[in-house]
Amino acid sequence: MSRISNTFAALKTQGKKALIPYITAGDPNPSLTLPLLHGLVEAGADMIELGIPFSDPMADGPVIQRASERALAYSVSLTDVLGMVADFRKQNLSTPIILMGYANPIEAMGQAKFAELAKAAGVDGVLTVDYPPEECQEFVGLLKAQALDPIFLLAPTSNAERVHSVIKSANGFVYYVSLKGVTGASHLDIDEVASKVAAIRSQTDLPIGVGFGVRDAATAKAVAAIADAVVIGSRTVQEIESSTPEDVVENVKRLMREIRAAV
Amino acid sequence: MKYDFPDAAGHFGPYGGRFVAETLVEALDELKEMYEKYRLDPEFLAEFAYDLKHYVGRPSPIYHAERISKHCGGAQIYLKREDLNHTGAHKVNNCIGQALLAKRMGKPRVIAETGAGQHGVATATVAARMGLECVVYMGAEDVKRQSPNVFRMKLLGATVVPVESGSKTLKDALNEAMRDWVTNVSDTFYIIGTVAGPHPYPMMVRDFQAVIGTEAKQQMQEMLGRQPDAILACVGGGSNAMGIFYPYIEEKNVRLIGVEAGGFGLETGKHAAPLTAHSPAGVLHGNRTRLMQDAGGQIIETHSISAGLDYPGVGPEHAWLQDIERAEYVAINDDEAMQAFHTLCRMEGIIPALESSHAVAHAMKIAPTMPKDAVLLVNLSGRGDKDINTVARLSNITL
């Protein structure tokens, strides 16, 4: 079993839900990524989604786009991101790291080389936003060959047939995008999310994470009641954006503790 | 073998496809289904043809640029006058097609991205006529460069949103339009202006623009009793080029030449010519194509004097046509395009768009190397009124 599956299994026996914060690697600067990763774990994160900076993050809102821009100002590359994961693994062998990013930096490195290096660095799962399963079967095979979990998105617009075809390629968990729109958008309708999560659950035993639009402890709590994992993206990045390099780790930890208490 | 691309999933060999976040999959499925339903529907095609004739003013003429031909001292240069279309460029052909589709799909709101502003103006125009709400995303840099077109769009009732992210040009406008679409997918139709983006856009835009090549084929036959030796068109995303190339793909003795923006020169790295520069393949804006990028796969900022060519990628079908050696791609630098712009103004009384000036420049470059009975057909994709501020600034003239 992968580190992701193990984590979900362990949480389940404790009757707990997974808390998955997102940060962009290299934001606000490359030297703070490692302290932020460890800080998130200390504050109660069960897994971490680590964003690979990209110049054109089309599926993200302005908050996460600015995080990419801040990281790219330091020329943070995919190779650098893998180095950060490797550094994190020197002190932490239990918390799963899921890389989240766009296809082009991976293709520039080469899919096979990426899969190999990601495994060596200690990555557990990979979510490539602009790789729907039908366009990346070879990549899915390369990831699975390295025992990396390919994570895929499902959306409010994904019908039953689509859910069925997406989960065939997925491992680890599936990520339900709780609203139409980009990351960090507002208004999340919990009832709608609940019925969609139930529909997905009827088709798979994989854990279901919910993200996009989880903004505070209250929404996190509501989402945790219906899903197996709560992903906190833009809200975490906002905290980074509004902090100084001196207090960013403490501020992000405080936010995580608040949400942890609710989940 | 018959040229039959894209495949059912929108691939042109290794290029094209549908590289989008899950949120857009259903919308693209719906669009694909509707387009497949209507692309051969006689009623739809009749309405499209009627609008092209009576609203756009098609067919656009082909004009023999005799003075320039004589000046070059070689091949005869003919111009396909897309600049004479309503709204002043080829962009309107595609907008009418997509707006008719939007109407049939019951979408009351259309959005578009624009670089030079020609596609934005064409979208705003068609939206006004059909009573659709219209929002146009335009890079903040382009808003400055193309202020007359911004005002035109506003006059036509469109909302123009300046995009401040990234390089503030066409690619960023595309990012922003995609975000709008993801958010408002149920009531919004995204009118993409070029032969790029996720399937079915590259195919659909090509098909709507193919009227250019279809007309040219008939017109050349009528005028000269034969087809040209070569067809030239500028390529940013590449919609005017695909439009004139596509009906000629099977005519193997007609050379197809795509002219990219060489900017300050390929050797400077400041250009927008991914095919000529043999940039590697990658994924951006929903399709796999050849992209200007750094070693780590970040998209790099491009440069061209013309906003409409200032794009780091290119339509996937052009990448494929280069791979299979059916079309050739070359680059023309800013200064060469400017020179062609002035020559066409002074010798033929035609003010061309700076985009189209790139194609004219390459025709003037190769014409002298060809015999006098050779024929070059240049797609004059747009008129240059929108560029007068840019040209004046570069010539140190205050208007």
Q: How far lies B270's CA from each of B301, B322, B353, in Å?
A: 8, 22, 21
**pLDDT score, position B146:** 83
A263 located within any domain: no
Q: For residue B7, is pLDDT > 70?
A: yes
Q: Do B185 and A180 touch (CB under 8 A)?
A: yes
Q: How far lies B324's CA from each of B3, B13, B290, B318, B328, in Å?
A: 11, 9, 14, 10, 10
**pLDDT score, position A187:** 67
**pLDDT score, position B116:** 80
- CA A138 to chain B, closest CA, distance in angstroms equals 13
A44 located within any domain: yes
Active site residue B113: yes
pLDDT tens digits, one per residue of B275-284: 999 999 999 9
| pLDDT averaged per 10 residues in sequence order, chain A, 263 residues | 94 96 98 98 98 94 93 98 98 98 98 98 98 98 98 94 96 89 69 93 97 86 95 95 98 97 91
A7 located within any domain: yes
Q: Do B297 and A185 touch (CB under 8 A)?
A: no
Q: For residue B288, is pLDDT > 90?
A: yes
B23 contacts on A by Cβ (under 8 Å): 59, 153, 155-157, 177, 180-181
A153 contacts on B by Cβ (under 8 Å): 21-23
**pLDDT score, position B285:** 95
A206 located within any domain: yes
Reported as a pLDDT band with limits 50, 70 and 90, residue B396 is confident
Selection from B23, B208, B186 nearest residue B105 by Cα: B186
Catalytic residue among B60, B69, B80, B113: B113
Q: Do B19 and A132 touch (CB under 8 A)?
A: yes
Question: Which residues, numbered 129 to 188 in chain A, qualify as contacts with chain B under a Cβ-Cβ cut-off of 8 Å?
Answer: 129-132, 134-135, 152-159, 162, 166, 177, 180-182, 185
Active site residue A42: no
The single-letter DSSP state of residue A134 is G
Q: For residue B75, is pLDDT > 90?
A: yes
The answer to whether the beta carbons of residues B80 and B234 sit under 8 Å apart is no
Q: Do A135 and B22 touch (CB under 8 A)?
A: no
DSSP A63-118: HHHHHHHHHHHTT--HHHHHHHHHHHHTT-SSS-EEEEE-HHHHHHH-HHHHHHHH
Q: For residue B340, is pLDDT > 70?
A: yes
pLDDT tens digits, one per residue of B77-98: 999 999 999 999 999 999 999 9
Q: How far lies A220's CA from each of A17, A157, A228, A261, B21, in Å?
A: 10, 22, 11, 10, 23
Chain A CA closest to residue B168? A56
Q: Do A180 and B297 touch (CB under 8 A)?
A: no
pLDDT tens digits, one per residue of B127-143: 999 999 999 999 998 89
Q: How many structural domains comprise chain A? A: 1
Q: Do B26 and A61 touch (CB under 8 A)?
A: no
Range of the domain at A122: 3-257
A175 located within any domain: yes
Tell me how far apart the terminal alpha carbons of chain B are, to the nearest angstrom: 55
A234 contacts on B by Cβ (under 8 Å): none
**pLDDT score, position A182:** 65
Three state DSSP letters for chain B: CCCCCCCCCCEECCEECCCCCHHHHHHHHHHHHHHHHHCCCHHHHHHHHHHHHHHHCCCCCEEECHHHHHHHCCCEEEEEEHHHCCCCECHHHHHHHHHHHHHHCCCCEEEEEECCCHHHHHHHHHHHHHCCEEEEEEEHHHHHHCHHHHHHHHHCCCEEEEECCCCCCHHHHHHHHHHHHHHCCCCEEECCCCCCCCCCHHHHHHHHHCHHHHHHHHHHHHHHCCCCCEEEEECCCCHHHHHHHHHHCCCCCCEEEEEEEEECCHHHCCCECCCCCCCCEEEECCEEEECCECCCCCECCCCCCCHHHCCCCCCHHHHHHHHCCCEEEEEEEHHHHHHHHHHHHHHHCCCECHHHHHHHHHHHHHHHHCCCCCEEEEEECEECHHHHHHHHHHCCCCC
Number of Cα atoms under 13 Å in the Cβ half of residue B393: 8
pLDDT tens digits, one per residue of B146-194: 888 999 999 999 999 999 988 888 888 988 998 899 889 889 999 999 9
A178 located within any domain: yes
**pLDDT score, position B307:** 87
**pLDDT score, position A244:** 97
ipTM of the complex: 0.95
Reported as a pLDDT band with limits 50, 70 and 90, residue B62 is very high
CATH for A153: 3.20.20.70
Catalytic residue among A27, A49, A228, A239: A49
Average pLDDT over residues B316-344: 98
A218 located within any domain: yes
A262 located within any domain: no
B18 contacts on A by Cβ (under 8 Å): 132, 134-135
A79 contacts on B by Cβ (under 8 Å): 296
A58 contacts on B by Cβ (under 8 Å): 21, 175, 178-179, 285
Sheet holding B62-64, edge to edge: B62-64, B76-81, B375-380, B230-234, B255-263, B327-333
Q: Do A180 and B296 touch (CB under 8 A)?
A: no
Q: How far lies A99's CA from each of A158, A243, B229, in Å?
A: 23, 24, 52
Catalytic residue among A27, A60, A228, A239: A60
Q: Do B299 and A56 touch (CB under 8 A)?
A: yes
Q: For residue B60, is pLDDT > 90?
A: yes
Chain B residues within 8 angstroms (CB to CB) of chain A: 9, 17-23, 25-27, 165-166, 171-172, 175, 178-179, 182-186, 280-286, 291, 293, 295-300
